[in-house]
Structure formats: C-alpha cells, structure tokens
Chains A and B, each alone.
Chain A
Amino acid sequence: MSNKEWPLWEVFIRSKQGLNHKHVGSLRASDAQMAVDNARDVYTRRSEGVSIWVVESNSVFASEPTDADSLFEPANSKAYRHPMFYDVPDGISHM
C-alpha cells in the first residue's frame, strides 16, 4: 500500500469578469483537473468565482521575508515617483 500523499495545489479565483485571479488557499489533489474540481467545491460554494487557476505549490518560487528590506528599498527611497512629491501652484486645475 503506497502512502504517497496527493500533491498540494495553490488555488486562485477570479471572482468576476474584469478582476484578477486572487489567491484563496490550497488543497490536495492527485492531478490538475481534480484540483480544479475540488477548488470549485471548497472555494466557490457561494458563487465566489467565475474562473479557477491551480498551480502546484512546489512550483511557486517566493521572495524571502528577510530580503524584503533590500528588495523593496528602491521603491521606498524614490518618493519622486508619487505625484504628491510635486508642488502645484494654487489655482492650477486638471492636474
């Protein structure tokens, strides 16, 4: 008797046309089709979705939380990318 566990799948749901697929959780299934079928029953029992993506969890390569400071530093140190950085004289509109 093999004790091989079914692989883990990450589930992404598009809640309606026009929105991104969003991560909702994970589940175990023997293959991709079963993962989609199970995701329907586990994550969309109340019309939460119109489309499902499943990705095997071990295919996800994620950034490390300990690298977050250096990884996102360039975004934090460049305030001039935000429109609030610039002075707009009083009386100027449509800008």
Chain B
Amino acid sequence: MKEVTISELERRFQEKIDNDIKIEPKDWMPEEYRQTLIRQISQHAHSEIVGMLPEGNWITRAPNLRRKAVLLAKVQDEAGHGLYLYSAVETLGADREATIDDLHTGKAKYSSIFNYPTTSWADMGTIGWLVDGAAIMNQVPICRCSYGPYARAMVRVCKEESFHQRQGFEIISLLAQGTPEQKAMAQDSLNRFWWPSLMMFGPNDAESKHTAQSMKWKIKRSTNDELRQLFIDVTVPQAEMIGLTIPDKDLKFNEETGHYESGPINWDEFWEVVKGNGPCNKERVDARKKAKDEGAWVREAAMAYAEKRKERSAIRA
C-alpha cells in the first residue's frame, strides 16, 4: 500500500468535516481530535451521572406520588444519558473505568452547576426549567457534531430533555402561582440558580481556549456566548410570564438588537467552583466514589457467577 503522509491524512480528514461527512470510530482522525472528544464526551457523561445527585436528594421527599414518579423517571433518564455517552467514549478507544477514575481523582471535570446544593423542593423545578433548559441549548447543536457516535447519543438525549424541562417548569410555575410562601420559595430558588445556569455555557468566547479548534472540527457548532444569549432571550419572558423576577438589576431589553442585555457574570465564582471549591464539590465526588467502592463486591460477584456458568456449560457440552 502506498505510504500516505500525516499531513495528507489531515487534509482528507478536514475535507470530510468541511463536507459534513461524519467521522466514525474506525476512521483515521488526528490524535488531538480523538483526545478532545474523549475529554469532552467523558466530562459530559460525568455531568449526567453527577447530575443525578442533587435531584436524587429530593426523591424521598417529593410532595406527592405523581411528582415522585416523575422525578424518579427523570433521574433514571440522567443515568441513561450518562451511559449513552460512556458508550460513545468507548468507541474512541478510551477505557470506561479509567475515565471514571479520572472523575474520582479530580482530573476530569463535570458541569459546575451540580456543585450547588438543592435546599428546597422548588430547586427541582428550577433545575428542570433552567439547568435542563441550558443543557438543551448546549446539546441541540451537538446533534450535528462531526463525530457520529457523539451526535447519535445527543439525538437520543435531546429527545428526552424536553420532558425534563417541562416537568421542571410545571413545578416552578405552580409554586409561583401558589401561597406567598410558595411563591417566595420559587423566587429564592431562581435567585440561587440563575447565575450558575448562565455559567453553564462556559467562559466568554474571548477566554475559551478550545472554541476555535472545536468549531473548525465541528465538535462545537455555536460559541459559548451565542448559546448563553439564546438562553437568556428565551428564558426571561418565561420568568415574566409566571411572575418571577430575574435576579439581575442590569437586565434590559434592547429594542434595536432584539436581545436582552444582562449584567456581568461573576467569573471568579465560576473558576472557584471549577477548581473544586464550590459548596458541594467534595460531597458529589465522595458520593460517586462511595457508590463505586461499595458496589465493587456486586460487580465482582456478577462476573464470578457469569464465569462459573460459562465453565459449567462448557463441561456439559
């Protein structure tokens, strides 16, 4: 076979991407493309799994059976989303357990929003409405990502997110129309989650070191600031509609541009939480480690049982 140079392989690779031809697992890809995807998809998977914890916190205290069944189904979906994504990351040759160990040692990150505590039932509403709403904004463009398995996982995820957002909005809008205490609970929750939700889109474009390369590779299809603006534009009228106030005194609508203008984001807070100093970082990672450690004997027993059955059926045959 004729020897092909790396630069020629890279040229063909970029040509495929420019022509919107998807990259599939066994195709040649630049090592940095593979590593970028492993990092991004595994951190996305960790976010889904860690994201089960703040909501899991309220399953036993849901106010009625309907809410409890819905919350259980939602948290189960998050587990499913994590598994679609770990499945996608394995197609890149990454080891699933090794990526999970990276989460536990702090090497791999996850969405910083899950390091905030869920102190009231209203937070179940706010998370569905804002956090899943922001996740939808982030994830819809990834359905067109250049890497086939990631794009396909995102299509599944996005189909399910709409239920998440609606169940959350139903909770928060009912509270907002309730007693003064209920309305205060809804407003308090919005006050706590609004800014962290805006931070979910990541640093400003000027500060985002991976954006340019990821856009060229079509891993990312919109910038952080574009998506954040879109989120603000659709969410502010929803808050107004249910009578809640966005906790941003600088927020105003610009008639000329047709967009809302918002106050400055506290990026120091964002970086502190990313670095591990948020209110719940330690609690979240400890919970994941505990689940892995305390489940070890179950995984081992299941494997031993499967191997014993295999041996027995080999002897019989």
List A residues at the B interface (Cβ < 8 Å).
1-6, 8, 25-28, 30-31, 34, 41-42, 45-46, 62, 64-66
Contact = CB atoms under 8 A, between A and B. Distances in A.
A30 B90 contact: no
19 contacts: A2-B300, A4-B300, A25-B84, A25-B149, A25-B153, A26-B90, A26-B91, A30-B299, A30-B302, A30-B305, A31-B302, A31-B305, A34-B306, A41-B80, A42-B84, A45-B77, A45-B160, A46-B159, A65-B24
User: Which 10 pairs of residues, A with B, have the shortest CB-CB distance?
Assistant: A31-B306, A30-B302, A30-B306, A25-B87, A26-B87, A30-B303, A65-B27, A42-B83, A65-B26, A42-B80
Nearest to A31: B306
A64 B300 contact: no
A30 B300 CA distance: 9
Secondary structure dominating the interface of A:
loop
Interface residues of B, number: 30
A3 to B, nearest CB: 8
B97 interface: yes
Interface of B: 24, 26-28, 73, 76-77, 80, 83-84, 87-88, 90-91, 96-97, 149, 152-153, 159-160, 296, 299-300, 302-303, 305-306, 309-310
B300 to A, nearest CB: 6
A8 B25 CA distance: 15
Query: Which of B83, B88, B309 has the most A CB atoms < 10 Å from its CB?
Result: B83
Nearest to A57: B90
A41 B97 CA distance: 21
A4 B83 CA distance: 19
A8 B84 contact: no
A62 B300 contact: no
B28 A65 contact: yes
A46 B152 CA distance: 17
A25 B160 CA distance: 17
A64 B24 CA distance: 11
